[in-house]
Amino acid sequence: MNTEQKIIEKDLKDCISKYGESLCYLKQRWQDEKCYEDFKSYKKLISKMFNEFKFKTEKVHNDFHIVLIHKIGTWCTDIKVKENGFSYGFSKIITKQ
């Protein structure tokens, strides 16, 4: 893992340490209330959580697959919120020439 990925992973783990339970709770709540709640309010809450840790939220899918770009800007982070945990991975951002 290179230096940038280590920084991103540290910020991601810090965010999950602070907001992990809240993210899992939001996913469970969405499963119960998706018939009558607007997902936009969930997106705003999620974006605010990750923004605090230098992430820009690119996408938040209603299955709680979240795509983030860190302030460093050269890596995309994919997170999948599960009922009681998380999975994540990194991919290099390639720009068109």
CA-angle at 10, arms to 8 and 15, nearest 5°: 95
Q: Give yes or no for a contact between 90 and 5, defined as CB atoms under 8 angstroms apart.
A: yes
Report the C-alpha gap between 69 and 87 in whole angstroms.
Answer: 16
Q: What is the pLDDT of residue 64?
A: 95
| Local confidence band at 28 (pLDDT 50, 70, 90 cut-offs) | very high
Is the pLDDT confidence value at 95 over 90? no
List, for residues 35-91, the tens digit of each pLDDT value.
988 999 999 999 999 999 999 999 999 999 999 999 987 889 999 998 888 999 998
Is the pLDDT confidence value at 97 over 80? no
Which residues, in sequence order, are CB contacts of 46 under 8 Å at separation 6+? 23, 26, 57, 60, 66
Domain ranges of the chain: 3-92
